[in-house]
């Protein structure tokens, strides 16, 4: 049985942008793909260049930057100061596929330069928990961090662990981030093993009980605390995986970080 | 309110140190290790590795090697726990750590895709079937909570910590916990690029250590509530007593030099177990044999637990098994409590004057009290587990 959680803030990075100031939705067509091929929504590179939030993350990979930006915005939405974040903060990153872009970059190096010519930086960014480490560095947080990989219900596992950490007193607030990135090889796999919406898009954050479902990219972060400390009480049992973001979107009236038309659109299309 | 006691009712392990718990203990008694050139992967990096030679489930092309390693250890652990695991088992959870099994890193798939824009999809299917906890749960019909922890080298330890919390919280009655990882070209090349792999088989805590050697394996514990064990008529002599975890918030690949993150994790685990530093009879140290890890860890262990605390450093037998290491070494820790001795630390010859403690040089008796197992990881993860006799 999972305890109820208090939701204190949220942050979101998606193809539609970040926070309140959203650039136009960018729908990127892959080089050389046919009209029938998969279309994928990507996060614009401009979004991942925030000089303040990403000052300590200049060398970070795309996956880590998306996760960290959503956590940064979630902290702001929750009204947390830098001093608040240094103590009592737990960080959980959940994902289905992890930073595979960094992994493919590393494979490129093996193919191009051989086993003994690869970059150590590219290798360290291909490790799944790099994003959690970057968020901890960004916040100066010495609390627990954990990264969970789950093809079916990544967010649910993170919420469950957050409830445990709060009950055990491992943190007073837990950042639970759910992050996915896209890449050409993963798009190809999605085309072979895809689960798409009626409009032909892979549905961002739409998880299917079919473990072969593939996502578009983005990151959402929730700041969680004990129920009495949240703006709204969240029942983790609602997050059964199929429509996780629809459930999150339903909370947007409470959370400035989620108040965005793109979320409502996703909710409508996934509903 | 007192916390429920969480028993260890089953153990299973496979590594280069042995294909089972009994096999491992035999090799430990003889202080025998078997590093060699890599045969399960192709790479021009020619560092010695610690491969598993007796893999009962190996060879199925549709299955990741990590899964075969995990299944072998799970089956030994379930047999030891006298748990048949007949599906469905809604009160059995699975919490396992890994690194390699979480990555789509098939070089031949990627080479083909990069060359012509399409590739045989079987590599992707193998990956999509390879989520470690989901695969174990599916195979044995366990439908309780699952978690695949991907915290790099502390994954196995953290997975056990999560399982402990589930059981204390009543989310399941039994949890399969630990870690599994296979040797792979990706970490082999990556660690080589980082300049932290040794040309010779690794020598944890040795003055002349030159870095780590990679290994592979799986270490699995069956953790169980006292009520469940009693209901099944299973007796247990040891318990998983405490868990601690703290981040460094410092660097992606290096620990904080003052060891403060590891110290906090150890103190948390001791508090969680309700014991003090002097109650620890021995430590199974992370001991990767890199100059930095062993210096930071050794200084921290000495500061927290005293320079005279007995230290076991087992990566000289197994190599660094990455996501499996926490599980493998948790099994070794409980085996040592059960047997009453820790093995000689293979590879350790010369004490490092810069480190205020050293691992044991020969098979050494230990008290059957409490023991600590530590893990440090990329990303600044520091985690610790406490095991002890059932009081």
Selecting from A123, A164, A168 the residue whose C-beta is nearest the C-beta of B190 gives A123
What pLDDT sits at residue A212? Answer: 38
Pairing of strands A218-225, B217-225: unpaired
* B228 contacts chain A (CB < 8 A): no
What pLDDT sits at residue B379? Answer: 87
What pLDDT sits at residue A214? Answer: 38
* B188 contacts chain A (CB < 8 A): yes
- Quick check: A25 pLDDT over 90? no
Selecting from A129, A144, A185 the residue whose C-beta is nearest the C-beta of B150 gives A129
Q: Does A107 contact B250 at a Cβ distance shorter than 8 Å?
A: no
What pLDDT sits at residue B13? Answer: 98
Q: B6 CA to chain A: closest CA distance, Å?
A: 16
- Quick check: B20 pLDDT over 60? yes
- Quick check: B344 pLDDT over 70? yes
What pLDDT sits at residue B239? Answer: 98
Q: Which residue has the higher pLDDT, A269 or A4?
A: A4
Q: Is B350 a residue of the active site?
A: no
pLDDT tens across A61-72, in order? 999 999 999 999
Please state the rounded mean pLDDT for residues A138-151: 94
CA distance B198 to B188: 11
Confidence of residue A252 (pLDDT cuts 50, 70, 90): low
pLDDT tens across A68-88, in order? 999 999 999 899 999 999 999
Angle between helix B107-116 and A100-113 (nearest 10): 80
What pLDDT sits at residue B1? Answer: 55
Please state the rounded mean pLDDT for residues B126-135: 89
Burial category of A61 from C-beta neighbours within 10 Å (exposed 0-12, middle 13-18, buried 19 and up): buried
What pLDDT sits at residue A59? Answer: 87
Residue B91 CA, chain-centre distance (Å), reads: 24
Confidence of residue A254 (pLDDT cuts 50, 70, 90): low
Q: Does A133 contact B247 at a Cβ distance shorter than 8 Å?
A: yes
pLDDT tens across A172-183, in order? 999 999 998 888
* B46 contacts chain A (CB < 8 A): no
- Mean of the per-residue pLDDT values of chain B: 94
Cα diameter, chain B: 63
Q: B282 CA to chain A: closest CA distance, Å?
A: 25
Confidence of residue B367 (pLDDT cuts 50, 70, 90): confident
Selecting from A100, A133, A150 the residue whose C-beta is nearest the C-beta of B252 gives A133
Q: Does A189 contact B103 at a Cβ distance shorter than 8 Å?
A: no
pLDDT tens across A121-137, in order? 999 988 999 999 999 99
Residue of A nearest to B107 (CA): A107
Q: B357 CA to chain A: closest CA distance, Å?
A: 26
Q: A260 CA to chain B: closest CA distance, Å?
A: 32
- Quick check: A247 pLDDT over 70? no
Phi, psi (deg, nearest 5) at residue B100 = -60, -40
Please state the rounded mean pLDDT for residues A36-47: 66
* Range of lowest pLDDT (A39-43, A184-188, B250-254): A39-43
Share of chain B above pLDDT 70, in %: 97
Whose tokens are 């983790």? That residue is A236
Please state the rounded mean pLDDT for residues B91-118: 94
Q: Is B153 a residue of the active site?
A: yes
Selecting from B44, B128, B194 the residue whose C-beta is nearest the C-beta of A123 gives B194
* B274 contacts chain A (CB < 8 A): no
What pLDDT sits at residue A257? Answer: 53
Please state the rounded mean pLDDT for residues B378-382: 92
Pairing of strands A173-180, A89-95: parallel
Task: Show the beta-strand stretches assigned E in B185-249.
Answer: 217-225, 238-247
Chain A residue numbers touching B37 (CB-CB < 8 A)? none
Secondary structure (3-state) at B267: helix
* Range of lowest pLDDT (A141-145, A231-235, B204-208): A231-235
Q: B46 CA to chain A: closest CA distance, Å?
A: 10
Model pTM score: 0.92
CA distance B120 to B177: 33
Residue of B nearest to A141 (CA): B249
Give, in degrees to the nearest 5, the angle at Cα A72 between A68 and A77.
145
- Quick check: A209 pLDDT over 50? no
Q: Please identify which of the residues B153, B172, B202, B246 carries the catalytic annotation.
A: B153
Q: Is B118 a residue of the active site?
A: no
- Quick check: A208 pLDDT over 60? no
Selecting from A103, A126, A133 the residue whose C-beta is nearest the C-beta of B380 gives A133
* B263 contacts chain A (CB < 8 A): no
- Quick check: A206 pLDDT over 60? no
pLDDT tens across B134-170, in order? 999 999 999 999 999 999 999 999 999 999 999 999 9
The dihedral region occupied by B165, where left means phi > 0, alpha psi between -120 and 50, and beta the remainder, is alpha
Share of chain B above pLDDT 90, in %: 86
Q: Does B44 contact A114 at a Cβ distance shorter than 8 Å?
A: yes
Q: Which residue has the higher pLDDT, B286 or A219?
A: B286
- What are the residues facing A5 on neighbouring strands? A234
A226 token code pair: 């004990």
Q: Does B149 contact A148 at a Cβ distance shorter than 8 Å?
A: yes
CA distance A56 to A58: 6
Chain B residue numbers touching A124 (CB-CB < 8 A)? 190, 194, 252-253, 378
CA distance A217 to B341: 51
- Complex ipTM tops 0.90: yes
From A112, A143, A49, A123, select the one nearest B103 (Cα to Cα).
A123
Residues 312-351 of B with CB under 8 A from A: none
Q: A23 CA to chain B: closest CA distance, Å?
A: 31
| Cβ density class B145-181: b for 16+ within 10 Å, e for less | bbbbbbbbbbbbbbbbbbbbbbbbbebbbbbbbbbbb
- Quick check: A37 pLDDT over 80? no
Residue of B nearest to A188 (CA): B118
Please state the rounded mean pLDDT for residues A132-157: 92
Query: Which letter does DSSP use for residue B2 in this model?
Result: P
pLDDT tens across B219-253, in order? 999 999 999 999 999 999 999 999 999 999 888 88
HEC profile of A135-195: HHHHHCCCCCEEEEECCCCHHHHHHHHHHHHHHHCCCCEEEEEEEECCCHHHHHHHHHHCC
Q: Does B45 contact A151 at a Cβ distance shorter than 8 Å?
A: no
Q: Which residue has the higher pLDDT, A166 or A44?
A: A166
Whose tokens are 């309700």? That residue is B274
CA distance A150 to B94: 12
Q: Are B198 and B212 in contact (CB under 8 A)?
A: yes
Query: Which letter does DSSP use for residue B350 in this model?
Result: S
CA distance B153 to B190: 14
- Quick check: B215 pLDDT over 50? yes
Selecting from A116, A143, A144 the residue whose C-beta is nearest the C-beta of B192 gives A116
- Quick check: A28 pLDDT over 60? no
Selecting from B99, B147, B247 the residue whose C-beta is nearest the C-beta of A141 gives B247
What count of CB pairs under 8 Å joins A to B? 199
* B86 contacts chain A (CB < 8 A): no
pLDDT tens across B303-315, in order? 999 999 999 999 9
Residue of B nearest to A103 (CA): B105
- What are the residues facing A91 on neighbouring strands? A145, A175
What pLDDT sits at residue A12? Answer: 85
What pLDDT sits at residue A40? Answer: 53
What pLDDT sits at residue A152? Answer: 75
Chain A residue numbers touching B248 (CB-CB < 8 A)? 136, 142
What pLDDT sits at residue A56? Answer: 83
Confidence of residue A207 (pLDDT cuts 50, 70, 90): very low
What pLDDT sits at residue B343? Answer: 98
CA distance B130 to B101: 6
Chain B residue numbers touching A107 (CB-CB < 8 A)? 105, 107, 110-111, 186
Chain A residue numbers touching B254 (CB-CB < 8 A)? none
Confidence of residue A239 (pLDDT cuts 50, 70, 90): low
Q: Are A164 and A92 in contact (CB under 8 A)?
A: no
- Other C-beta atoms closer than 10 Å to the C-beta of A234 total 23
From B11, B76, B273, select the one nearest B168 (Cα to Cα).
B273
Q: Does B113 contact A151 at a Cβ distance shorter than 8 Å?
A: no
CA distance B222 to B141: 15
CA distance B125 to B135: 13
Query: Which letter does DSSP use for residue A32 in this model?
Result: T
Residues 133-152 of B with CB under 8 A from A: 133-134, 145-152
């Amino acid at each position: 049985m999972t305890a109820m959680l208090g939701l204190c803030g949220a942050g979101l990075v998606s193809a539609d942008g970040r926070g309140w100031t959203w650039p136009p939705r960018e729908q990127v067509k892959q080089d050389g793909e046919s009209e029938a091929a998969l279309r994928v929504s990507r996060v614009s590179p401009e979004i991942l260049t925030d000089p303040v939030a990403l000052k300590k993350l200049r060398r970070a990979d795309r996956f880590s930057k998306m996760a960290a930006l959503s956590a940064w915005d979630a902290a702001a939405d929750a009204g947390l100061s830098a001093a608040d974040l240094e103590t009592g903060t737990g960080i959980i990153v959940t994902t289905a596929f992890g930073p595979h872009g960094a992994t493919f970059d590393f494979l490129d190096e093996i193919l191009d330069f051989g086993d003994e010519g690869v970059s150590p930086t590219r290798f360290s960014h291909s490790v799944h928990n790099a994003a959690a480490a970057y968020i901890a560095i960004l916040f100066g947080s010495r609390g627990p961090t954990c990264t969970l990989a789950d093809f079916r219900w990544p967010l649910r596992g993170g919420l469950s662990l957050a409830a445990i950490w709060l009950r055990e007193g491992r943190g007073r607030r837990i950042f639970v981030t759910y992050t996915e990135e896209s890449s050409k090889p993963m798009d190809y796999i999605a085309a072979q093993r895809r689960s798409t919406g009626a409009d032909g898009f892979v549905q961002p954050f739409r998880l299917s009980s079919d473990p072969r479902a593939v996502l578009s990219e983005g990151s959402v972060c929730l700041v969680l605390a004990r129920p009495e400390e949240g703006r709204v009480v969240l029942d983790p049992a609602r997050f059964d995986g199929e429509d996780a973001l629809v459930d999150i979107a339903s909370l947007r009236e409470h959370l400035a970080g989620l108040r965005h038309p793109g979320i409502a659109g996703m909710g409508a299309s996934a509903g | 309110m007192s916390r429920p006691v969480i028993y260890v009712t089953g153990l299973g392990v496979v590594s280069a140190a042995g294909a089972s718990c009994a096999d491992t203990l035999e090799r430990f008694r003889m202080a025998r290790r078997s590093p060699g050139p890599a045969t399960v992967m192709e790479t021009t990096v020619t560092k010695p590795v610690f491969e598993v030679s007796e893999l009962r489930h190996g060879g199925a092309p549709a299955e990741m090697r990590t899964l075969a390693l995990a299944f072998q250890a799970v089956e030994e652990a379930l047999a030891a726990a006298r748990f048949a695991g007949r599906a469905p088992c809604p009160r059995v959870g699975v919490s396992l750590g890994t690194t390699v099994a979480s990555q789509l890193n098939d070089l031949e798939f990627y080479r083909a895709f990069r060359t012509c824009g399409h590739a045989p999809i079987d590599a992707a299917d193998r990956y999509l079937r390879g989520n470690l906890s989901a695969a174990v749960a599916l195979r044995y019909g366990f439908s309780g909570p699952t978690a695949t922890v991907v915290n790099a080298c502390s994954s196995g330890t953290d997975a056990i910590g999560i399982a402990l919390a589930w059981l204390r919280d009543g989310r399941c009655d039994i949890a399969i916990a630990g870690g599994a990882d296979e040797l792979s070209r990706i970490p082999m090349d990556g660690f080589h690029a980082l300049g932290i792999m040794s040309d010779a088989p690794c020598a944890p805590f040795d003055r002349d250590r030159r870095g780590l050697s990679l290994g592979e394996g799986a270490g699995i514990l069956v953790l169980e509530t006292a009520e469940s064990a009693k209901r099944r008529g299973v007796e247990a002599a040891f318990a998983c007593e405490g868990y601690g975890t703290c981040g460094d918030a410092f660097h992606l690949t290096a620990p904080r030099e003052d060891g403060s993150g590891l110290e906090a994790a150890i103190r948390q685990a001791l508090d969680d177990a309700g014991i003090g530093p002097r109650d620890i009879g021995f430590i199974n140290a992370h001991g990767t044999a890199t100059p930095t890890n062993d210096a930071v860890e050794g200084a921290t262990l000495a500061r927290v637990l005293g320079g005279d605390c007995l230290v076991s450093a087992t990566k000289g037998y197994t190599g660094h098994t990455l996501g499996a290491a926490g599980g493998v070494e948790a099994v070794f820790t409980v085996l040592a409590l059960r047997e009453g001795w820790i093995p000689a630390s293979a590879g350790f010859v010369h004490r490092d004057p810069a480190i205020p403690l050293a691992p044991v040089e020969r098979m050494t008796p230990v008290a059957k009290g409490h023991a600590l197992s530590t893990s440090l990881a990329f990303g600044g993860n520091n985690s610790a587990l406490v095991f002890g006799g059932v009081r």
